[in-house]
């Protein structure tokens, strides 16, 4: 599922929407907020993140990939 998210955010969002219905957008906003607050995503707010998911395509995928930061393993 992570591979689909990174390669085709539109397809990922459609699958999430098919499963969660109207709850998909608030769920993705919560996930985006958590990613941002915990340092895993930079330069995208939840609204922009959801907009890119809905838009899909290569450009959206590139922007999302550039915004995600890998976790730092210090333990």
Q: pLDDT tens, 9-28?
A: 999 999 999 999 999 999 99
Q: Examine residue 75 and state whether it is found in any structural domain, yes or no.
A: no
- Using the predicted structure, report yes or no on whether residue 62 has a pLDDT greater than 80: yes
> What percent of the chain shows pLDDT beyond 70?
91
Tokens (6 digits) for 17: 């929407």
Q: Examine residue 72 and state whether it is found in any structural domain, yes or no.
A: no
Confidence of residue 1 (pLDDT cuts 50, 70, 90): low
How many residues can be counted in the chain?
A: 75
Q: Examine residue 47 and state whether it is found in any structural domain, yes or no.
A: yes
- Using the predicted structure, report yes or no on whether residue 72 has a pLDDT greater than 90: no
H/E element, 38: none
The predicted pLDDT at position 5 comes to 82
Q: Examine residue 52 and state whether it is found in any structural domain, yes or no.
A: yes
Give how many domains the chain has, as a whole number. Answer: 1
The domain in which residue 44 lies consists of: 2-67
Q: Examine residue 74 and state whether it is found in any structural domain, yes or no.
A: no
Q: Examine residue 18 and state whether it is found in any structural domain, yes or no.
A: yes
């Amino acid at each position: 599922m992570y591979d689909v998210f990174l390669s085709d955010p539109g397809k990922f969002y459609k699958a999430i929407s098919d499963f969660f219905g109207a709850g998909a957008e608030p769920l993705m906003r919560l996930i985006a907020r958590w990613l941002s607050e915990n340092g895993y995503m930079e330069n995208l707010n939840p609204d922009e993140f959801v907009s890119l998911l809905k838009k899909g395509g290569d450009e959206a995928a590139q922007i999302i990939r550039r915004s995600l930061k890998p976790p730092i393993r210090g333990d």
